[in-house]
Structure 1
């Protein structure tokens, strides 16, 4: 597996090796990155279709990251409005993306769009409880019907948000995108986490912050009051100025 700045895309298949190489390339140009999207879900153990390798990066480094990935051989999007990865009605689109082929892409998400309450990625301590390495033994192994699971390569440099912080981010996104077409999307992702990851070594609801935990538990129990709890949390976050404007 080729890593770091000497990596060049030559139509490799989308898989752990390619994801590791992309992450390594970003690391080599000092662009901190966290795995995101459906690929992240499969590492957590969620069975889902993967059509991208997605990463969250600092806002002000999106252009240098995009340029480096293009220089490495990933393909610019020439499909304009016909590209499903640019369809704003389907799912929240990435800030920028490049193509692996017609269907698969490498996506870059701005931190302020999805993980705005997370610490600055450039100044994270080496051992941070909110971050996991993709080969962490606490992550599940690959299993039929349970996603790809943890990476087997060692050493592994691919980083991801821990499942607890990820669920909190999903709930924040639910609150931000209230009454929009994206609300259903975030709720579906959170439901997958409940179905496939809750109660495993990486996701204990008791470790969620209180406001998030109340809604999470209600969703888990199918409590009809869960939406009023979400509204209560949302209003509290607005009062505390912790929610950015939708599509800001």
Structure 2
């Protein structure tokens, strides 16, 4: 079970639910579910900020995982790594795989707080932002040259954000952390979603808020210089305008 598998992902999700911690899948595992080919070195979940400690204790007791021996020096928690580090992680025994928890305030802050509807998720009762990872009506199957696609077992109750929610999260991440490694990661993920999910007709951009929908289409179609586009995105999100020096520094 320590190696990446649907069963291991389900085991982490179940441990969180048992501890009464609402959670949704995140990271490269989530990208694969949406059909984006990505190397999976971690199994990550988003939890509410006030559930982090309980969630950390819960996944720490999952069979086959071990505490991080040195969080200060571990590459998985380094603030200089090219992707955002989790707020807590454990290592899988005899494997390079990591299981991590991310705060909702760092990822899906624009959504209502994750609630108890995620503890016993059913297709009909989930909030509209989410689907089950096994939902064949929304998520793609495995295809050559794409990610793993939807989960095969409908018994494993794993909740995932819809693709337009993931896109909005990355647009906000890029705007907030422009000029930092995390911001660069956000733009790369926007491009991945465009090149795989949108190109395959699996991204409903009509579900994006008005300004973000317009801005995404302008970026996708190359209608504006990146500097202008970035400032308009930051303005739409009520963030300060970037000056010329800040752009030249990047």
TM-score, normalised to structure 2, is 0.85
Provide the rounded CA distance (Å) in 2 between the counterparts of 1:70 and 1:200. Answer: 38
| Runs of 4+ displaced beyond 6 Å | none
**Contact 2:91/2:97 (<8 A) preserved:** yes
Provide the rounded CA distance (Å) in 2 between the counterparts of 1:114 and 1:66. Answer: 17
SS of residue paired to 2:11: helix
Aligned alpha-carbon RMSD (Å)? 2.0
Provide the rounded CA distance (Å) in 1 between the counterparts of 2:205 and 2:236. Answer: 21
Are 2:95 and 1:96 aligned? no
Provide the rounded CA distance (Å) in 1 between the counterparts of 2:37 and 2:66. Answer: 27
Provide the rounded CA distance (Å) in 1 between the counterparts of 2:43 and 2:57. Answer: 16
**Contact 1:19/1:53 (<8 A) preserved:** yes
**Contact 1:26/1:33 (<8 A) preserved:** yes
Aligned partner of 1:40 in structure 2 is: 30
Structure 1, residues 61-100: CA drift from partner, whole Å, max 9, x if none? Answer: 1111111211224211114444221222222111010001
Structure 1, residues 161-184: CA drift from partner, whole Å, max 9, x if none? Answer: 111111111111111112222111
Are 2:206 and 1:213 aligned? no
Provide the rounded CA distance (Å) in 2 between the counterparts of 1:225 and 1:209. Answer: 22
**Contact 1:35/1:56 (<8 A) preserved:** yes
SS of residue paired to 1:144: coil
**Contact 1:57/1:121 (<8 A) preserved:** yes
Q: Which runs of 5 or more residues in structure 1 are unaligned? A: 1-10, 241-248
Aligned partner of 1:54 in structure 2 is: 44
Aligned partner of 1:167 in structure 2 is: 167
- Of the structure 1 ranges 83-92 and 56-65, higher mean CA displacement relative to structure 2 is found in 83-92
Q: Which runs of 5 or more residues in structure 2 are unaligned? A: 119-124, 241-250
Aligned ranges for residues 36-185 of structure 1 at < 5 Å? 36-73=26-63, 74-90=65-81, 91-101=83-93, 103-122=96-115, 124=117, 126-137=125-136, 138-185=138-185
SS of residue paired to 1:120: coil
- Of the structure 1 ranges 191-200 and 118-127, higher mean CA displacement relative to structure 2 is found in 118-127
TM-score, normalised to structure 1, is 0.86
Provide the rounded CA distance (Å) in 2 between the counterparts of 1:232 and 1:124. Answer: 36
Provide the rounded CA distance (Å) in 1 between the counterparts of 2:199 and 2:13. Answer: 29
**Contact 1:162/1:202 (<8 A) preserved:** no
Aligned partner of 1:6 in structure 2 is: none
Cα offset, 1:14, TM superposition:
1.1
